[in-house]
Structure 1
Amino acid sequence: MGIDQGGLAMRNRRKGSMLVELCASLAAGSMVMLLGITIIERAMHWTQSMQQQTNLQRELSQLASRWREDLSKADQFDHRSPSLVVLGMPGQEVTYESLDGQVQRRVILKDDPSAKPIGTDRYEIGRDYRARFEPETLVVQALNPAGEVINTRLRVVGKKMDPRYRIIEAEPAGAAPEVSP
């Protein structure tokens, strides 16, 4: 009789322990699934961020090449403001304007004063960046959400073979300025 009661007790306890094991397995499985979803979400975020950086790098490279080419061909340089530069070339006028998150390049023929721009290029640099013009230099800076300069992303000097041309990630606010060769 004691054996039967012990056998029944074992069966009842076994059924209860299976329920506990099932709950523990469900909890562990849920944690593993949540971890997997989190990893996938982070990977997607990282991929999107890398895609944005790649696009920015491509746009900056195209902008730098075009800026150097136009500036080397220009016979006049009119620095109207930190956001507007007009380059005079034989037969045409090229305007660079820094707008919100982009740099716009327009070409207007000099022969016809009523002419519309014959070419407009837009270089998207992103809303977290600001382009400004200094004499014969284009500077693209990264900004924080408060609008303060974090670093200088691109500094392009107009001459094609100028050794100071490079795409850089440096100089946080307050850092010592670079010494040019």
Structure 2
Amino acid sequence: MTARFDVETTPIEGLLILKRRRIADERGHISRLFCGEELAEIGWRGPVAQVNESVSHFAGTVRGMHFQTPPFGEFKLVTCLAGRILDVAVDLRHGSPTFLEHVAVELSADNACSFLIPKGFAHGFQALSDDVRMIYAHSAPYRAEAEGGLSPTDPRLAIAWPLPVAHLSPRDAGHPPLGTDYRGLAA
């Protein structure tokens, strides 16, 4: 298979949108979800340590904004295999010129895009359709002791969710707004 990713940069350094090239015929298509060699060329660091599936049954569902604190930060490659989502990454890197800015991108089964999110970002998404199915590749295993989160409705983040925020988990609903003293994640 010779298909590669088409790479689109975003306004925040390190955040990339990957468009999978599909090879199609009358039977359907095939596309590459992950290639360590190709992704290393554009910034992925580390192995694929974990792959997770996420299913959201209802449009409006918001999951996030989650991150792993140093030294357990991780790269994520997020792909939507069924339905549509608005995927959001927030820059939490201390000292970054884009600190607390975010990029939001629509991922869907139809558009064949993935979102490459480096260490130092919070990540979350909103289901834009019912019955969303996603797959995440992580460069490091999940560590409960390094888990962090932000309120997806924090005014300081100013995320414009396209649908009313719904179906938050108790954990996600319990994250307080950021204080003015929040300095982010150290490298």
For the pair shown, the structure with the greater C-alpha radius of gyration is 1
Q: Flag the structure with higher strand content.
A: 2
Both proteins in one fold, TM over 0.5: no
Give the TM-score normalised by the residue count of structure 2. Answer: 0.23
Name which structure has the greater RCO, CA cutoff 8 Å, separation 6+: 2
TM-score after normalising by structure 1:
0.23
Compare the two structures and name the one with the higher helix fraction. Answer: 1
